[in-house]
Amino acid sequence: MPLREHLRELRKRLFLAACGLAVGAVLGWILYDPVFKALQQPLLDTAAHRDGFISVNFSGLATAFDMKIKVSLFLGMIVTSPWWLYQLWAFITPGLTRRERTYAIGFLGAAVPLFLAGSWLAWWTLPTAVRVLTDFTPEGAANLIDAQVYLSFVMRFVIAFGLAFVLPVVMVAVNFAGLVRASSWAKGWRWAVLLSFVFAAVMTPTPDAITMIAMALPIVVLYFAALGVCFIHDRRTDKKRVADGLPRLDGTRPDGG
């Protein structure tokens, strides 16, 4: 596909993803109150545990309105994840045959649960992160947390781990599209493991190593699971091509030529 067509396809997919996100944001706007309570609950629980004053602070005149918009978009991104993940798949694999496009079902069937699992894992550790970080507040002092800062912290934490869990599925999608072979992914496995732990260290707000390892290990496991799927797919593809008298996708022939 020419570069111009790629850019048009990218613009189309971004537009469709944005439309879906806008629809999800409307639902987020409607559900803002219970969602905001859920976002604030870790702070309230920590305040009750420490018997201190910890609360979200709206420091500006329009801060409450701005936060409602951001929370709506945040929830919209979570709710519409099947839609924009499909747009990602459709952009990666625009030239596949009709039969190969059926892989989209498998892609979404794996990507959506993994995105939600990564988001849930981050959400599950959020109360611990809030408790550890607020424990540094001196005795007798109040902790007024800026609403914008707190929301950015939660959004980055949840969405980043959701996307990190989807990356192995993108690896498989690119492999199935014939763009990258499993051997190419395998050459960088050391970097993949290192980057997984660096990512967990940066994104995990707690200073303890146990939480960092607990967040990094699922990403590493998913990477190697995706690598295994890619190797199986390459082997099947090569066998089929050899049976048809064609060279393997890496350019070699069965006789070594």
Does residue 88 carry a pLDDT above 60?
Answer: yes
What 8-state DSSP symbol labels residue 138? P
Task: In whole angstroms, give the CA distance from residue 84 to residue 86.
Answer: 5
Could you tell me if residue 139 is left (phi over 0), alpha (psi between -120 and 50 degrees) or otherwise beta?
A: beta
Q: Say what the pLDDT of residue 81 is.
A: 83
CA pair distance 118, 124, nearest whole angstrom: 10
Tell me what pLDDT residue 152 has: 79
Which pLDDT belongs to residue 224?
Answer: 92
CA 19 to chain centre: 20
Q: Please give the average per-residue pLDDT across 90-95, as a whole number.
A: 68
pLDDT single digits (tens) 122-156: 888 888 777 777 777 777 676 777 887 888 788 88
Q: Please give the model's pTM, rounded to 2 decimal places.
A: 0.69
Which one-letter amino acid corresponds to residue 127? P
Question: What's the rounded mean pLDDT across residues 60-74?
Answer: 84
Mean pLDDT value of segment 204-216? 75
The residue whose two tokens read 């390892």 is: 213
d(CA 7, CA 228): 32
* Residue 135, token pair as written in the block: 């424990």
The pLDDT > 90 percentage for the chain reads 4
Note the pLDDT of residue 102: 67
Q: Tokens 């800026």 belong to which residue?
A: 146
- Res 256 pLDDT > 70: no
Model confidence at 108: pLDDT above 80: no
Confidence of residue 52 (pLDDT cuts 50, 70, 90): low
DSSP 91-145: HH-TT--HHHHTHHHHHHHHHHHHHHHHHHHHHHHHHHHHHHHHTTSPTT--EEE
Write out pLDDT tens, residues 182-196: 888 888 889 989 988
pLDDT, residue 99, reads 60
251 sits in the region (left: phi over 0; alpha: psi -120 to 50; else beta) called: left
Please state the domain extents for the chain: 3-243
